[in-house]
Structure 1
């Protein structure tokens, strides 16, 4: 998705890996999309997810909230749910998920 096409109904579909290896590339994309009004991140295709990925998602949700919006996490994959559970963040994920 092009961040300029974002809007409150726009959904950014993340690829299979959301790990430390992609963090440097993914962070500016997420930031730009949120600034453009992104309303949703689709996590259904994520098969690799780590602490860095969790930090990116949490920071993205916080950035949206700081701008007075809510960023929804759509269809978190089993891997995303598992990492969140490991860190005691299942409730956070459930609150952020659609």
Structure 2
């Protein structure tokens, strides 16, 4: 795993969440072949298959599920670090999520 990059982990996480190389590519503004290549390189670094493809749908293997959990921990940790650094700089920063009901006027 020493040769895995943060970019590859982001691509893997999006692919795992969507269950599709194409949807992950759309979200990340990358081409589908780029996503496939990044996941292939990450799979090679891990040494075990991360996905099982059935039809056009991707399913996580055990190794893939474990890597997804690890990715989520890493990204959560980086988000917390970013907020802590902002606090040290005297800035208040975070994430705001809004939801809107389509029938609202």
TM-score by length of structure 2 reads 0.29
Judging by fraction of residues, say which structure has more strand: 1
TM-score by length of structure 1 reads 0.30
The structure that has the greater radius of gyration is 2
Q: Using CA pairs below 8 Å that are at least 6 residues apart, which structure has the higher relative contact order?
A: 1
